[in-house]
Amino acid sequence: MDRFSDRKRRIIMEIANANPSITGKSLSLLLNVSIRTIQTEVAEINQQLFLIHSSNKGYSIDTENYALCSQHIQPTQSYEHLILRKLISSNKPCQIDDLADTFYLSTSSLEKILNSFQPLLTSHDLHISRKKMHIHIEGNELSKRRLINHLIFEETTPTFANFNNLSLYFPNINTGRMKSIIINSISKFNYSVDNAYLSNIIINISIALYRMKDEYYVNEITYHDTASLSVEFQIAQEICEQYAEHWHIAPTNADLAHIATLLSGQIKPLSEISDTAFASEVMTSEFLNKISDILLSSFTYYMLDIDYSDSLYAFALHANNMIIRLRNMQTVTNGILENIKRNCPFIHDVSVHIAKQIGDTYHLYIPDSEIGYISVHIGYLIESATTKSSKIKVTLLCHEYHHIMARTKDKLMNQFSELVDISIANFEQEQAITSMDADLFITTAPMTIAGAKTICISPFYTNKDYIEIDRAIHACLKKKQESRYNQLLSSLFHEKLFYRQEDLNTKEAAIKFLGQKIIDFGLCEEGFIDSVLLREELSSTCFFNTFSIPHAVELNAKKTMFCILINKKGIIWDNQKIYIVLMIAVNADDRKRFMEIYNGIVQTLETPEKVKLLISADTHVDFINYLKRH
């Protein structure tokens, strides 16, 4: 089967990320092609492998086949990666002209590509060394292994495990046997690996083992005798011993110490031990108190009333392991970050705030991939707390005969207690009923109440009744959220904070321009722009390759307002081209509203049709009207 073209891969990924489907029109807007082109490409994709279902609601992914075809959805190998792979794997310097001939390039084209490597190599403490017409990558072995890790993960979509990509760097590698050796060695010492970290551990240790097989050993780690007492060091010895039964390696203590660091912070005991008991063994009370303070201050900062006592040990244990990984310069990846940014942007923002506090406290830079894992822990806490404040009011009108009222109420509470507040009325209170403040009336007798949504169910609360109630409740919730969102928007825009310009085409230029306009308008003090740039360094505010919502780390504006920039030609934002920038300055008193505003904007702009309308807006009034939900 041929690999999919770049456009076909993009179509597949957009459909896979849609929830639950996406229309052909939306896809055509995202890819800037005709609907007919989308239809043709989908048909050709399905001829190779049936991946896409089509219905009157749009396109949806076939999850089973999608999970089987990772190798066909990977980006085409670039010259840059192919050349880097050749240089990093070669055991002797490469002659420049020969290297150019290998990739069918002119020497001048190769030189340009080699020059483009410098930022990446520098970030890994490596550089290209030249002697006459020969080149090789210069630097220590650990740095080279980290570069290989970076390239492997960069060449693979985050949705899939990356084991197959090892063969691109290490010919004839038996990934199944490698995985078995590593997992069996860890299990032998009654430890296990969370699935979230499994691919990271296997790939990093496989890199180490294969490099030793090719006679590349570590000499940069200072080994201490006490290190051999750790369970990680003992597991490292077991892994190397099992590997040596198949391929010759002679690891030094420094090599074993390196593999031990790859295990640190990613394995846990198999024994039935609670998070609390295990945490007390590996963490000090001082550390636990500090993490508790960080959570409390972060939730207070966003005006979130959250009881995290039951989750403190689990999160502190995660934070402790994360700190160990970062201090050992371990790389982790996960496929959940983009999903959380897309569907729960406020949760991601709170997690960025928590990550910054942990990073500042322990003098660490916490990357996006680790913030994704923090978001999972924090998300459950925020969701459980915020659902309480978004309930709808339901009034129940039932006949009293044979406990119909009590039974119906009990079933409603069992199934919808997190979504509704229930009050009870009887049919004799006709005048009082019409004046009741309720979003939904549920009755066992047909009746009409002016201005209110009403559904009639049977006295027996059947499955059909449950489905109808569920639909009605969620329709009311959606209507309530849309109404509140639309009301919030009206006060957040001003004609003097709306710009259409095509000369601002970089992230830095757009941030500095909009930031200065916000300062000049009197919303923020000097230093606001630096704070926005800092927030971008922590984690990008770019969404769907279409728009960005930059904002400061601090929520200290005099008033909450947006400043809008539209550029029809596009703005390069973290290697993506976007067209709308919605910079927001947030007042401290609006911290709770920030969640609704932020989530609402992101969820509204995930629709390509809506984005197209917004790009066409000539005034801030048009922009607001297009942004509203109808």
3-class SS letters over 364-408: CCCCHHHHHHHHHHHHHHHHHHHHHHHCEEEEEECCCHHHHHHHH
pLDDT given for residue 425 in this prediction: 78
| Claim to verify: residue 120 and residue 244 sit in the same structural domain | no
Domain of residue 565 covers: 492-627
Residue 1 lies in a domain: no
| Claim to verify: residue 508 and residue 622 sit in the same structural domain | yes
| Claim to verify: residue 259 and residue 230 sit in the same structural domain | yes
- pLDDT below 70 — which residues of the chain? 1-3, 67-78, 155-169, 221-228, 271-282, 334-335, 384-389, 401-402, 427-432, 434-435
| Claim to verify: residue 87 and residue 66 sit in the same structural domain | no
Residue 400 lies in a domain: yes
| Claim to verify: residue 67 and residue 84 sit in the same structural domain | no
Instruction: Identify which of 320, 306, 232, 305 has the alpha carbon closest to the alpha carbon of residue 275.
Output: 320
Residue 14 lies in a domain: yes
| Claim to verify: residue 367 and residue 406 sit in the same structural domain | no
Residue 32 lies in a domain: yes
Residue 50 belongs to domain with CATH number: 1.10.10.10
Query: Could you tell me the CA-to-CA distances from 427 to 199, 398, 403, 436, 579 in Å, in that order?
Result: 62, 8, 15, 13, 56
Prediction pTM value: 0.71
- How many whole angstroms separate alpha carbon 465 and alpha carbon 473? 12
| Claim to verify: residue 419 and residue 542 sit in the same structural domain | no
Please check whether residue 159 is in contact with residue 335, taking contact to mean a CB–CB distance below 8 angstroms. Answer: yes
Task: Pick the last residue of a domain from 239, 269, 299.
Answer: 269
pLDDT given for residue 160 in this prediction: 44
| Claim to verify: residue 102 and residue 63 sit in the same structural domain | no
- How many whole angstroms separate alpha carbon 176 and alpha carbon 246? 13
Please check whether residue 526 is in contact with residue 519, taking contact to mean a CB–CB distance below 8 angstroms. Answer: yes
- How many whole angstroms separate alpha carbon 445 and alpha carbon 481? 29
Residue 470 lies in a domain: yes
| Claim to verify: residue 84 and residue 62 sit in the same structural domain | no
| Claim to verify: residue 379 and residue 416 sit in the same structural domain | no
Q: How many folded domains does the chain comprise?
A: 6
Residue 519 lies in a domain: yes
- Strands, E assignment, 533-629: 542-543, 547-548, 561-573, 576-585
Instruction: Identify which of 450, 413, 416 has the alpha carbon closest to the alpha carbon of residue 430.
Output: 450
| Claim to verify: residue 366 and residue 248 sit in the same structural domain | no
